[in-house]
Structure 1
Amino acid sequence: MAGVFRAAARVLASNGLYQGDYVPDVRDKEMCVPHFLRPMSIVAALKCASTGDPHRTTTLADRAVGVLALRLDDGPAFGDIFSLEAHVDAWGDLPGRTTESAVAVLYAAADASEVSA
């Protein structure tokens, strides 16, 4: 789990945080850059860290989203994966949220997961 959080942090540090969707121009109408090289949301970065693709998921990515969702603010309203993803995305989409703050949260989650393991 810690490895996924750290890899996602590196993805965001390299590509940047994107707010509003997984990646900009998700339908490739204006960009020809591969999706894994574009700025992305925190959820997309976790998926990309575990699969190499910000749109594909794995059980590990879903678990990482769940762990991170429980660490943020008051926690999600429901425990299904869609609510967990929505909670993480809502945190990342707050006005003024920076790439640096998202990276810091991911590294903190990595450190905490190592302590609890």
Structure 2
Amino acid sequence: MATSSQTRSAVLPLQLSPLSRPTTLPQVFRAAARLIVVNGHWQGDYCPDPFDRHVKTPHAERPLSIVAALRCVVSGSPHQTTPLSEDAVKVLAHRLEVNGEPPFNDTPLMLECHVAEWGDAEGRLTESVVAVLEAAADANEVSA
């Protein structure tokens, strides 16, 4: 498990330098995978205590859901959407099946819910989340 100093050093460039943020889909998927490896995969919401009722650490330093990690690596915030982060959510949603089904439709909210539902499946491990993100990065490098 990562210590808090390791977590901060892995996340700090995302918060301080927009120049270090990913600019392509493969980079987004790989950065999100690294962020989840460092902070952990969170199920049920974007991150623990998203409204800061009890936890005071920055959201980007908490365990994150898949959607939150994709948004965080692009914008620095797990709650802020960007065209690139939403493209990543869309691409990932179409790679995942939930109960054997693809996404219901292509509206951003439905795509986000589809990815979240896949990530929230009981027993979903960080390793499988990271593997899916890495596979999405590999597939998008080949198609680029």
Paired position in structure 2 for 1:54: 78
Q: Equivalents in 2 of 1:76, 1:67: separation in Å?
A: 11
Structure 2 residue 59 is matched with structure 1 residue 35: yes
Residue deviations 1:12-43, cap 9 Å, x none?
00000000000110111111111000001000
- Which aligned runs of 4 or more in structure 1 are off by greater than 2 angstroms? none
Unaligned runs of 5+ in 1: none
Q: 1:46 Cα shift?
A: 0.2
Q: Match for 1:26: what amino acid? A: P
Please give the root-mean-square deviation of Cα atoms over the aligned residues, in Å: 0.6
Identical residues among aligned pairs (%)? 56
TM-score by length of 1: 0.98
Q: 1:52 Cα shift?
A: 1.0
Unaligned runs of 5+ in 2: 1-24
Q: Equivalents in 1 of 2:76, 2:126: separation in Å?
A: 20
Q: Equivalents in 2 of 1:51, 1:36: separation in Å?
A: 10
Paired position in structure 2 for 1:18: 42
Q: Equivalents in 2 of 1:75, 1:46: separation in Å?
A: 20
Q: Equivalents in 2 of 1:75, 1:60: separation in Å?
A: 21
**Max Rg structure:** 2
Secondary structure at 2:54 match in 1: coil
TM-score by length of 2: 0.80
Q: Equivalents in 2 of 1:28, 1:103: separation in Å?
A: 26
Paired position in structure 1 for 2:120: 93
